[in-house]
Amino acid sequence: MKKLSVDKTSSKGIAIGKAYKYEKISFVPDMYVYNDKDEEIKIYKNATEQVSDELTKLAQTNDIFAGHLELVNDVALLDEVTNKIVNDKKNVQIAFRDTIDEFVAMFEAMDNEYMKARADDIKDIYQRVMAKIKNVELKNLASIHTPTIVIAKDLAPSDTATMNLDYILGFATQGGGVTSHVCIMARNLGLPALVGADNLLEEVNDNDIIIIDATNGDIYINPDEAKIKEFENKKSDFEKREKLLKENAHLEAITKDNKRVLVYSNVGNIEDIKNAVKCYIDGIGLFRSEFLYMENSHFPTEEEQFEVYKEAVQICTGEVIIRTLDIGGDKELSYYEFDKEENPFLGFRAIRISLHLKDMFKEQLRALLRASAFGYVSIMYPMIISLEELLEANSILDECKKELDSQNIAYNKDIKVGMMIETPASVMEAEAFAKYVDFFSIGTNDLTQYMLAVDRGNDKIADMYDSFNPAVLHAIQKVIDAGHKENIVVGMCGEFASDERACKMLLGMGLDEFSVAFTQVAAIKSIIRESDFEKCKEISEKIRFVHSKKEVNEILNMF
């Protein structure tokens, strides 16, 4: 028996069955010199039109393909392919391959996991368009008719969309990240899935018996009978727990001693909101508005943004906290040129860009204000480090309100405004900030990185990136205390809020709102319902005095 492990799970569960190695066609461009550049461009346009038609049909039944549709119709993609054909004298196949390689490299270089995952979507577009150019039929998983665990280098959304779900038990891939579309689809379908398993294709053969433990991140290859029996029992226990969580998901997160806690969800688009609402969320704790900008070929207009924000609040009847543009660092725009920076994460990003591009910022704020007439919208600023920044942002918001008043355009006069806490500066000045906002949201992903001076994308020091570090916990406690001193709500929208082990501790520390991945909503609500707030508070008080991970672990074991 062999065992492979991955650092992060993508879709929890356990699968036991035979392996099926799914290998895609590797499209290599034909090497030829063209005679007519217009004919090459025509070939490309015809291919993308065919793919666009197919994706349009797929998008009607699965919103996840809407992003693919935008990619294949992206003007920037067409312009770059055309440029390579006309100016670099490359044939259509080479021009398209080289352009896709550039796009993939750009996205894979990003630290943000969600944006890095878009590289997989671009590779999928390459497969589909090249198949049309070469007049080749793509393989799919619809022909599987026996219980199977799919093993692949990677899987595209179009692969999972064609799976015969009556026979697919789960899947594992050698590449990919936990935020990729294929993992999102796996979670939606309830399929156990693991991604990023090194040497997977070398270690697994067709028809090998394998166990995917997607809860702990392990793959067992040709296990003995005892191991199979062990995991059959674990699978049964897991399915019973999931069934119970699902049955109770509609219940509110109220502790045994009647403390009401809000459980929100983090989203990046309308599709995410639809999925989150199905999980009985109390609201949206983080709507990442930057994806409106990143998936566009231009700065989205006020009207374009308004329509999206309006739809968001009409789908979710609870509070929808929309973060203003958080671009820069690992997130770039194809239509706006950023200066090269030695330390982009410490440079021109987030609120700094919005305050610099005031007209762009006002368009977003006006759209948000207008959407507030149709539902419970709250506005949140990212990356605030000084009172001056906060006051300037609020001043621009006031300008927008006056403009709308003069135009007799409706908006919620009492709209709530909050800010992210994600830097040591915002932690240290939290008491001052709390006087000027309605809520805080602690972004533990960046806060942990900045507090510990650890690059969360660096594998060599990945073990040092730990939100359970006493310094990070003390920072979180300081922010909660500062917020409560001014009677404002303190929430958390980083990955730490989804950590089941941290839940009771954060509850005891006084966190008012957990904004989590929608797949974790039921589990976090269940833990809160099982908790006694006063007891959690008593134990969590000890966090103020810890100075080592050993002490933190001792406290966690008290819950």
Q: For 63-107, give the DSSP string.
A: TTHHHHHHHHT-HHHHHHHHHHHHTS---HHHHHHHHHHHHHHHH
Any catalytic annotation for residue 484? no
**What angle is formed at CA 282 by the lines to CA 279 and CA 287, rounded to 5 degrees?**
85
The span from the CA of 90 to the CA of 31, in Å, is: 9
The span from the CA of 418 to the CA of 446, in Å, is: 17
Tokens 């693991």, located at residue: 194
Q: For 294-360, give the DSSP string.
A: HTSSSPPPHHHHHHHHHHHHHH--SEEEEE----BTTB-BTTBPPPP-S-GGGSS-THHHHHHSHHH
- Radius of gyration (C-alpha) of the chain in whole angstroms: 25
Any catalytic annotation for residue 503? no
| Amino acid occupying residue 153 | K
The span from the CA of 242 to the CA of 236, in Å, is: 10
The span from the CA of 321 to the CA of 418, in Å, is: 9
C-alpha distance from residue 420 to each of 45, 333, 351, 361, 478 (Å): 43, 22, 11, 17, 14
445 among annotated binding-site residues: yes
Are 299 and 360 a contacting pair, CB within 8 Å?
Answer: yes
Q: Which residues contact 138 (CB under 8 A, 6 or more apart)?
A: 24, 25, 127, 128, 131
135 among annotated binding-site residues: no
Annotated catalytic residue within 181, 279, 400, 536:
181
Annotated catalytic residue within 183, 279, 316, 493:
493
Burial class, 19, CB count within 10 angstroms (exposed 0-12 / middle 13-18 / buried 19+): buried
The span from the CA of 186 to the CA of 135, in Å, is: 30
The span from the CA of 531 to the CA of 538, in Å, is: 12
In this structure, what token pair is assigned to residue 548? Answer: 């080592």
323 among annotated binding-site residues: yes
CA atoms within 13 A on the CB side of 96: 29
In this structure, what token pair is assigned to residue 319? Answer: 């509070």
Number of H helices, E strands in the chain: 23, 15
In this structure, what token pair is assigned to residue 387? Answer: 């009172």
| Amino acid occupying residue 254 | I
The span from the CA of 397 to the CA of 381, in Å, is: 11
Are 265 and 322 a contacting pair, CB within 8 Å?
Answer: no
Strand 209-213 relative to strand 513-516: parallel, antiparallel, unpaired? Answer: unpaired
Q: For 499-518, give the DSSP string.
A: -TTTHHHHHHHT--EEEE-G
Residues in binding site: 288, 323, 422, 445-446, 456
Residues in binding site for phosphoenolpyruvate: 288, 323, 445-446, 456
Residues with catalytic function: 181, 493
Residues in binding site for Mg(2+): 422, 446
